[in-house]
Amino acid sequence: MKDLASTEQSVVYGSLTVNLVRIVAQGEVIAAHARQFSRDQLICDPWHYLPILEKKPGALRNGAPFVEWVLPRAIVQVRDRILKQPKGDRAFVELLMLAGEAGLDALTVACELALESGVISAPVVMNELHRLIAPHLPAAAIHLPDTIALTMEPVANCHRYDYLLGAAYVH
């Protein structure tokens, strides 16, 4: 094992096997990658660069890890539409950050739902994603004391609003 960096507080080192490269910090594996043996090849996992996108969302368009990123078709369609909107880079990065927590499958389904609805924007996709990962909880039963019970049911009387429509609309 070769020591990559060492400080008083933490030790980061790499472990190399025939097929795997591991990065370890404070005794915990923080990254593991399959070894590549070809020359002049850049291999990037875009998910590792999400924190950079938070600070520089424009890197989504031309950054090396993101240019060749193969995403599901629904996400690509939503991405292309959102990037055309004002501040679309930042909005799509927020979706990717949520997908980092919820998973790519959940984001794919949320994008498909947005495409079906015909309204493609980051808030719509985000709303669908939140519904998928945190479904509605059953309504909690509210126990009220008997002293607050209704004695007379309210009656809907829409005719009292007829004056707002004016005399021409009154029956």
pLDDT tens by residue, the chain, 171 residues: 444 444 444 455 666 677 888 888 888 887 787 777 778 777 777 888 888 888 888 888 888 888 888 889 999 999 999 999 888 889 999 999 888 888 889 999 999 999 999 989 999 999 999 888 876 666 667 777 777 777 888 888 877 777 777 655 555
Distance, first Cα to last Cα, the chain = 89
Tell me which residue of 113, 31, 28 sits closest to 77, measured CA to CA. 113
Angle at 95 between CA 90 and CA 97, to 5 degrees: 90
Per domain, the residue ranges of the chain are 2-34, 46-133
pLDDT of 81:
93
Give the CB-side neighbour count of residue 11, counting CA atoms within 13 A.
7
CA distance 122 to 134: 18
pLDDT of 1:
42
> Considering the entire predicted model, what is its pTM?
0.60
